[in-house]
Structure 1
Amino acid sequence: MLQEVVATRYVTPLREGGSLPGIVEADDLGTYVMKFTGAGQGRKTLVAEIICGELGRRLGLRVPELVTIELDPVIGLAEPDEEVQELLRASGGLNLGMDYLPGSFGFDPLAYEVGAAEAGRIVWFDALINNVDRSWRNPNLLVWHGDLWLIDHGATMIWHHNWPGAQASAAKPYNASDHVLAPFGPDIAAAAAELAPLVTEELLTEVAADVPDVWLADEPGFASADEVRRAYIAPLLARAATVHERITLDAPTATRPSQAPGWLTDRLPPRRKQAAGDDRAAAVARTGEEGGR
C-alpha cells in the first residue's frame, strides 16, 4: 500500500491544472502536490493516477512518489480564495499526493533531446494506458536534475468511465501523432519487447491493491472494491501484449512556437535551433499580420 501521511499546512494552489491541485506540507516533513477527491473530475481521476503512476514506476519509468494524504479542511482556513476553500471543504479525508520536485521545469521538445529508446518506452506506456494527455499541447513531463519525469495520469484508462465496453477498449488503436515525444523517433518495437513481458497479472494486481477501498466503494455494477480492481486489471493485461501493433505515428495536427527562452535555445544543437527559429519567425509573422488587421 502507498504510504499515508497527514497534511499539516496548505501552502498554495497550483492554477495550471483544471482540478486546482495544491502544494501541501505533511507530517513526514515532505512537500507534495495534492490532488483532491472533491475536485470536479472525481475520484476516478485519482484511481487512474495511482494505477498508472505505480505501474509506470514498476516498469522503470520516472514517476514522482505517490502517497495518500489525510486532509482536515481546517488547515486551509487562512486561504483567501473562496474556490480553494470550497475545494478543501469538499475533500476532507483521504486524498492523493505526488512528491513535489523543487526546481523542476516543464519539458519543451525544442530545448531537450530525448533518445529513441526512452521516447519509445514512454510512448508505449502511454499507449498501454491510453493516455490522451501527453501531447505537444500539454506534455505532462517535467525535467528534474536532467531527467524526464512523468506526471498527471488522471486522463487515462478512459474505459473506466464505461465499464461495459472496457474489455473491447483493449483492442483500440493509439494515435501517437501528437505525442510530445513523437519527433524523437520513438523505438516502439524495442519498448514492447522490453516492457510487455513485465506487465503480468501479478504486477497489475499489486498495483491495483494500492488504490484505497474508499475510492472504489459503491461503484455501480460491482459488489466489492476487489471486483473493481479486477476490472482494471483485465483491459491492461490484454492490451499490453499487442498494443505496439496499433500505435500510429503520423504528422502532428498543428505546430506552435517553442516556449523556451532565447538564452536556452541559443545553446541548442543546430537542428533544434533551426526548428526553434523557424517557429519563432512564424509566430512573429502571425503577430504582425494580426496587428495589421
Structure 2
Amino acid sequence: MSGIEIRGHAQESDLERLKAGFNKKIDEVLSPLMKRHLQSLLNLEKTLAQSQKLEDALLIREERTRLSSVKGTEVLVGLPDSPTQLNALSSRFKRESLAVIRNWEAKYEKALTSLVTRLTKSSKLDQALLAKNELKSFRERIALRDGNEGSDTKSDKAGKVDYALASEGATAKAFQSAESLIDGDLRHSGSEGFAWGSYPSEFIVTFPKNHKIGEINFLLYDKDRSRKYAYQLFVSRREGGDWEMISDHSKKPSSGWQKHNFAPASIRKIKVLGLFNTANKNFQIVEIEAR
C-alpha cells in the first residue's frame, strides 16, 4: 500500500475504508519495531529473573502481555515509567515508532480533510459530519499524545501528579460509593461524598499502569471530629501481587488527613483496610491521593 486512498469506493463507506486503510498501514510499519521491542522485553525479563528481581521481571511480563493485546497507535498509550530498564526500552520504542508513523498520520489527516470537503460538496451532510468528527477526534488524540511526551499525566498545582484520580485512569473498589475515593472532590456531608463499608472494610485504588509513588494521603470522614479510626495501609507492586503493609494504625487512633511518605516505589494498587471507628460500625474515606 503506497498511500491512503479514498477514491474508487462507494461514498457511503469511504470513511470506514479510509480508517481501515490507515490502521492497516500503521500495523504494517510498526510490526518490525514491535517484534524487536517484544524480544528486548523478553530478554530483559529473563535477565531480571536470573538476578532474582522477580517483581520487576513480572512487570516486564505484564507489559509484554499488554502489548500483545493492542494494535495500531494504541501500543504507544500507557507506556510504563518503571522499572528504569523498562522505561528506557519503552521510550526508545516510542521514539522510533513516532518517527515512522508521523508521515502516515499526516496523510490520514489530509485524506480526512479532503473527504469532508468532497462529501459536503456532494450534499452528503450526515456522512460529512461523521468524517468531520473523526478528523476532530484524530487531531485531539495526536495532540494529547504529543503533549504528554516525557510525562504521562498532568501535574497539580504543587508540580506533582495525583495518580489516584479517575481522570488519570484510576479505578476504585469499596462496599459503597467507591467513586468518591478518586473524584478529587473533598466536599462531603453526613450522608454523601465519601466511600464506606462496615468494618473491617477494604478500600482499593488501582492504577492503569505502575507509577513511581512516594506519598499516599487519604481523608477520613471528619464532620464529627470526635471520632477516631483505626486502619492499615497496603500497596501492591503488580497486578495480582502480594499486599505489602506500609503503615499500621491498628492501635493508633487517627482522624482527618492521614499522610504517609516513603521511599518512592513502583506501585500498581493501594489498599486501606478500615478496622475500627469509635462512632459506629462503619468506616468512611472521603478521598485518596497518591503522588
TM-score (norm. length: structure 1) = 0.26
Which of 1 and 2 has greater Rg?
2
Query: Which has more strand, going by share of residues?
Result: 2
